[in-house]
Amino acid sequence: MRFWTGARGADMGADGTGIGAITAGDADSPLASGDLALRGLAVEAPSPTWLARHPHLDVVYAALEGSGRVGAYRRTGEESLTPLGKTVPAGEAVCHLAVAPDGTCLIASCWGDGRVVHIPLGADGSLDKPSLAPAAEDPYRAVVSQAAPSGFLLSEEPNEEEERPTRAHAAAFLPDGRVATTDLGYDLVRIWRLGTRGLVPDHQIVFPHGVGPRHMFVHPSGHLHVVTEFSCEVFTLAPDRAGAWRIVSACPAGGLLGDTAAELTASRDRQFVYAGLRGESNAIAVLRVEGNGESLRPIATADSGISVPRHHVIVRDALLVAGQNSNAIVSLSLDERTGLPGRVRHRLEHPTPQHILPIG
């Protein structure tokens, strides 16, 4: 199977030179449990740390984190890309892109300055003029004492003198057409409507103080699972009858003191959820989906086999992990029945890998 890879480059003090191409097993197979192989550089690009595909065009988008811009790249061969138009500005340390299911726009999230940016897409997949969404406000600012939302305990006590930075980190398109975005710095998930000129605020969900909501995905049940970077938990959100999203459950992902969570993804049958834990454990936490998707239960923590598992992707019985500090990508076996990862099968040297995207 073929994959695009993103990496940090010279403008972020690393050795990556652009979007790479790798294979796991046979290039044309739907399986990815075989040997890992570097196929070369698909296109030069400065620090493409997050990649996203257009839903029906052979176009890939890259968050160019070091320069704060977004680029579009058209596929020109099995493992090659070429720039599609000019890059457009997003914001400081743009770190995540989510493309609308209908291919009309993408949402860029910027860790450095908290910007959430709506970028229209042309019929050919090219980037149009970006528009900036309204900035977030810290719900804990000037609060001496406040009960946590939905009955959850505060991770730390709010400080009325505290000045925290806003840190937008990810976006997800919801089943009803709205958009969810995380703000890791302000402990928020914000819900937006898509307007004629970009994103329009709908409402927001306040998380416990200091947990740091980071990445998320929508489960087929309609629930939204959100991993928190600082507390290493997975929160589950659901809409009420009026359409307002709220926290319905939370569970620990595991790990050790000093760990921070990274990516969150699910197995092919969506019965298991996997959270990357960076730091002391450098592990992959495994959680089982309970009931109708409204809660999760931790069942295991597996060694990722690398240092700082920045991103991971699952393809049937293979779990591929990008080790930021290992300068390597590894492939772990995965038991689809139990959901448990096994040992490292294959290892591929790769400069500062940040993201692994199936080419399809």
Instruction: Identify the CA nearest to 176 among candidates 101, 93, 75.
Output: 101
Reduce the secondary structure of 100-160 to three states and give it as a string: CCCCCEEEEEECCCCCEEEEEECCCCCECCCEECCCCCCCCCCCCCCCCHHHCCCCCCCCC
Residue 115, by phi and psi: left (phi above 0), alpha (psi -120 to 50) or beta? beta
Strand order in the sheet with 94-99: 94-99, 105-110, 116-120, 131-132
Is residue 10 helix, strand or coil? Answer: helix
Q: Tokens at residue 40, please?
A: 């070369």
Q: Answer for the pair 88, 97: CB distance below 8 angstroms, yes or no.
A: no
pTM summary value: 0.94
Does the pLDDT value for residue 152 go beyond 80? Answer: no
Distance CA 243, CA 191 (A): 11
Summarize pLDDT for 318-329 with one digit per residue, the tens: 999 999 999 999
Q: Where are the beta strands (DSSP E) in 148-282?
A: 168-173, 179-183, 188-195, 198-206, 213-218, 224-228, 233-239, 245-252, 260-266, 272-278
HSE, side-chain direction, 13 A CA sphere, residue 217: 15
What's the CA gap between 132 and 156, in Å, rounded?
A: 31
* Residue in the structure block whose two tokens are 């810290």: 138
What torsion do the CA atoms of 252, 257, 260, 264 make, to the nearest 10 degrees? -30
**Which two three-digit tokens encode residue 92?**
């400081």
Cα separation values, 99 from 118, 142, 213, 317, 325, Å: 10, 36, 20, 27, 28
Confidence of residue 147 (pLDDT cuts 50, 70, 90): very low
Residue 157 is predicted with a pLDDT of 57
Model pLDDT, residue 142: 59
- Res 360: pLDDT: 73
With cut-offs at 50, 70 and 90, classify the pLDDT of residue 146: very low
pLDDT band per the 50, 70, 90 thresholds, residue 194: very high
